[in-house]
Amino acid sequence: MAKLYRASEPDVLKPLLDHAALDSDSRERVMGHALGLLADLRAAQSKGWVNQFLQEYRLNSSEGVALLSLAEAFLRVPDPETADLLIADKLGDADWRAHAGKSNSKLVNSATWGLVVGRVLVGEGSTGPLRRLISRAGEPFVRQAVGAAMKMMGEIFVMGRTIDEAVKRMRRPENKGFTASFDMLGEAARTHADAQRYFQAYVGAVDAVGRDPAAGHSISVKLSALHPRYEVARWSECVPALTEMLEALAVQAASKGIALTVDAEESERLEMSLDIIGAVAGLPSLKGWDGFGMAVQAYGKRARPVIEWANGLDRVMNVRLVKGAYWDSEIKRTQVEGLADYPLFTRKAATDVSYLAVAKEMLAAENIRPAFASHNALTVATIMEWAGNSRDFEFQRLHGMGDGLYERLVQENGYHCRVYAPVGGHRDLLAYLVRRLLENGANSSFVHQLADERLTEAEILADPVAKIAAVGGKRHPSIPLPVDLFGAGGHRNSAGLDLSDVGTLKATVAAVNAPLPQAGGAGGGLALSSSATAGDERAAAAASVAASGERVPTPSPSRLREGDAVVAAITRAHAAFPGWSTTPVDERAACLERLADLLEKHRDELMAICVQEAFKTIADAIGEVREAADFCRYYAQQARLNLHPIELPGPTGERNTLHIEGRGVWATIAPWNFPLAIFLGQTVAALVTGNTVVAKPAPQTPRIAARAVELTHEAGVPVDALVLVTGGPEVGAALTADVRIQGVAFTGSTATSRKIARSLLDDETRPIVPLIAETGGINAMIVDSTALPEQVVADVIASSFRSAGQRCSALRLLLVQEDIADGVIEMLSGAMETLRIGRPGDPATDVGPVIDQAAYDRLMAYRESVKAKTVKTLDAPADGLFVPPTLVRIGAIEDLSQEWFGPILHVATWEAGKLSETIARVNAKGYGLTMGLHSRIARAADVIEAEAAVGNLYINRSMIGAVVGSQPFGGEGLSGTGPKAGGPRYLYRFCAERAVSVDTTSAGGNATLLSLDEGGI
């Protein structure tokens, strides 16, 4: 099974194509059945409100998107002011009049006229005629109308607000002959309290359904709803806990005589879920109960082996086959993490092929009772063909979708069909509703195609096997492999590690915790100051911290001979400049590309140093190596594109050329929080532009820098073109004070950058040289009442506490609209309780130690000073440099006056309708690095984009993890000078521009003119 996880699409599909294919006679019968089903579906369209809605408001139209966006957020907005803004935002720009009276459904037409009125109310000026006519009703009228419409949509897709209501609704005449699988809609839990609440909801649902077992209804369970950290890294914690809870529910269901099915989720959770399901399936107490089941997603490349696994269990298993519900998020995750290939198919037709092949396998399996969830007439007809006269299986459909497909099959032909029925309050479940609509109404889905009157029956019922065979099973051309994410003209994406694969995780853990080799001297021509010894001592001490969590003080660097070492290093780099600067740019770029390859080749070693010297968690260490490789490849690509001489226009008889050259010797001064990525990013940018470099790492992280320099030399950069010096502030001061330094690239504190700037100007005889400074910030995230709290909390946790809060971009100030602040803070506090503080080499660790004793003392003293304002904090190991994640409630934005570089988050509130004022108050602090916004109001995003004075703005996502080439990083104001690292303008700052103009006529005539056909004598 593991070998298929990231296998190539054609290889996985090849055996499936033969298994899913129909012979000509079968194909003819299947088409006959499918045409009949298609007719039933189309007949139902004229009756079904949902089908009419999808037909009128397609999801690729502005109106369809507006309605879904409104539905997703409206009912959770508590304050009228924001509700009005949301309505205006979603209804204001769409053309609702174009849809008025066009539908066959009176309900859809009625809703459309309501939207037309709403559009006039929010879109017309105050003097509009309809506005004047109902001015007394105004916004409350619109809010009530929209609220009623949203609740109506909720009722269409949610079976009931409670399990009792849902059971009662299944007794209605339209559901005659159907059974239900009730899902209590336990979305992924963020807190242990969430998980316990969902568990009790499942217990209640089993009890309610179990009162009438003869009705045949069942319960569906999401494991992610029962544990807030259902992750491979927490396997030893979550798998036993989930096994215990699932066992309790299964025993309860067995005692009631009803069935229980475990839903399928993201691919990285598959092996965990199989462990849990397998353990419960083997319980002696459940022998003889045939109601236990699981769902399998056909879009996953491992679907067929999972069926084989289920068939091999020592019991009958109910297996629900679905197409899959997390396709877009899994595609993105694979790309972001730089994994080898996708865990799922990239073409809809490929998923259909997999579905058919797996369905055939299920029908033949001895220990599987199949259930086929589909709204696709061709899929249903094919399964009927393969099953023959058998009715020992069931079909399934989503509540609110596929009306007309199964009614005749159930009521006239004896087939069984179960409705997957969501249960819960509309306010909480409309986000789920929208996701389901998007999945089932996507352009490539059967539901969407059915609503498209332009498509013929043949096109709708086209054979997926033939489609995939025609393209050789190849990936969708618009979905490149992650390595090719940046296109043919872009840089190669760095390779990541798939830590959801247990084998990879175990190997990685062993590698990063292995003892580091003894640090050598200044091999490879490295010029180390006398403080190198102190750095090596700290590396050994750091390994001790990584292993045991003991607190280790940072050694003080020796001051002896540091000035001499810096002078010698600059002398070497200065002498090497003429040779390196005249090296062709393509050769310099090739060195960077070789370095990127070497970084990936030595990834385990580099990660181990990052973990043991810089106390990075395993996930952060992977990111460190990947970002360093990305910098190398991106700057190499940019240099090839932009650093060649440029011919400029001018009068005839004249040649004008712009040359881009290196400036001389650059000093690059890097921080400890990104000791490889930023250290190399600054350095290779200076190198590829033709400069030589004296590079100084932070005194806390000399070892990773030394290894990076060794690999850079191995990649072909001359040993004197890049020289390493190590030490503390004295070394940095000596470096920047030397008049031979022609530029400085610095990442660190604002105070240090000011000192560097002054030192570059102190000597009036010294040339004015560029300073590229990237510093920190009081980074704020603004959250309004339309935001989804679960998403907000996940992004806040990552932005504030990942890397122990030791990122320049980390969230320091959370600003929540006061109407929802209490709920968000409560959920955030609960999510903080799930964080694990510990050794960085443990894959379960979320928050490791801070960098050194000085940082620890400073942060702990501050925590003590704000103890009275602390909303939430955690216990941390007593021994070690562990600063507990802490949430501090402050009265106003102005109360936070400086950056606290650690896992400390401040929270304040803001008033509805004062977004611009809130942005201005954050801007007034003078920092301008990162800012975030969580809102479903598009115009709020427009406002913050126009008014936020920050280098990097993040909307509806976390505020960390800028990607080279996609999100160039750097601030303004007190947060840096620019240009942005990892961006298309970064290299120019390292260069000198020289224009050369040559009069070509001075040599005796204008050859250009003489070559023309016209003119002359």
Mean pLDDT of 609-634: 98
Q: Which two tokens stand for residue 554?
A: 């940072």
- 911 is an active site residue: no
Mean pLDDT of 919-925: 98
Is the pLDDT reported for residue 896 higher than 70?
A: yes
> pLDDT by residue (tens digit) across 236-256?
999 999 999 999 999 999 999
**β-strand partners of 994:** 659
- 774 is an active site residue: yes
Q: Output the CA torsion 940→946→952→953 (10° steps).
A: 0
Q: To which H or E segment does residue 419 belong?
A: strand 416-422
> How far is the C-alpha of 501 from the C-alpha of 343, rounded, in Å?
11
What integer pLDDT is reported at residue 532 of this predicted model? Answer: 36
Under 8 Å between Cβ of 846 and 801: yes
Q: Tokens 């809609």 — which residue?
A: 185
Biggest alpha carbon distance in the chain? 110
> pLDDT by residue (tens digit) across 964-997?
999 999 999 999 999 999 999 999 999 999 999 9
Confidence bin at 133 (pLDDT 50/70/90): very low
What integer pLDDT is reported at residue 429 of this predicted model? Answer: 72
> How far is the C-alpha of 463 from the C-alpha of 23, rounded, in Å?
12
The H-assigned helical ranges of 210-341 are 235-256, 270-281, 303-311, 327-336
Average per-residue pLDDT for the chain: 88
What integer pLDDT is reported at residue 436 of this predicted model? Answer: 60
Is the pLDDT reported for residue 519 higher than 70?
A: no
Under 8 Å between Cβ of 1006 and 1000: yes
Under 8 Å between Cβ of 361 and 367: no
Mean pLDDT of 898-926: 97
Is the pLDDT reported for residue 546 higher than 80?
A: no
Provide the edge-to-edge strand list for the sheet that holds 904-910. 870-873, 886-889, 904-910, 813-817, 780-783, 930-934, 952-955
What integer pLDDT is reported at residue 793 of this predicted model? Answer: 97
> pLDDT by residue (tens digit) across 355-392?
999 999 999 999 999 999 999 999 999 999 999 999 99
What integer pLDDT is reported at residue 92 of this predicted model? Answer: 63
> How far is the C-alpha of 842 from the C-alpha of 234, rounded, in Å?
10
Of 900, 674, 863, the C-alpha closest to 777 is 900
How much is the CA Rg of the chain, to the nearest whole Å? 32
> How far is the C-alpha of 892 from the C-alpha of 573, rounded, in Å?
51
Q: Which two tokens stand for residue 3?
A: 């070998």
What integer pLDDT is reported at residue 3 of this predicted model? Answer: 78
Confidence bin at 49 (pLDDT 50/70/90): low
Of 14-18, 29-33, 84-88, 102-106, the poorest mean pLDDT is in 102-106
DSSP 656-689: EEEEEEE-SEEEEE--SSSTTHHHHHHHHHHHHT
Catalytic residue among 439, 808, 899, 991: 808
Q: Which two tokens stand for residue 748?
A: 């660190």
Is the pLDDT reported for residue 527 higher than 60?
A: no
Which positions ≥6 away from 44 have C-beta within 8 Å?
Answer: 51, 403, 404, 405, 407
Phi, psi angles (nearest 5°) of residue 969 = -115, 135
Under 8 Å between Cβ of 59 and 794: no
Q: Which two tokens stand for residue 422?
A: 């969501």
Sign of the CA dihedral 260, 501, 797, 426?
negative
**β-strand partners of 930:** 952
Mean pLDDT of 853-882: 97
Under 8 Å between Cβ of 35 and 457: yes
Percent of the chain with pLDDT over 90: 74
Confidence bin at 1012 (pLDDT 50/70/90): low
Q: Which two tokens stand for residue 464?
A: 């997926």
Mean pLDDT of 398-418: 91
CA atoms within 13 A on the CB side of 98: 9
What integer pLDDT is reported at residue 184 of this predicted model? Answer: 86
What integer pLDDT is reported at residue 454 of this predicted model? Answer: 76
What integer pLDDT is reported at residue 113 of this predicted model? Answer: 45
Q: What are the start-end ranges of the E strands in 312-367? A: 317-322
> How far is the C-alpha of 189 from the C-alpha of 799, rounded, in Å?
19
Catalytic residue among 774, 790, 899, 991: 774
Q: Which two tokens stand for residue 513?
A: 């915790």
Mean pLDDT of 213-241: 97
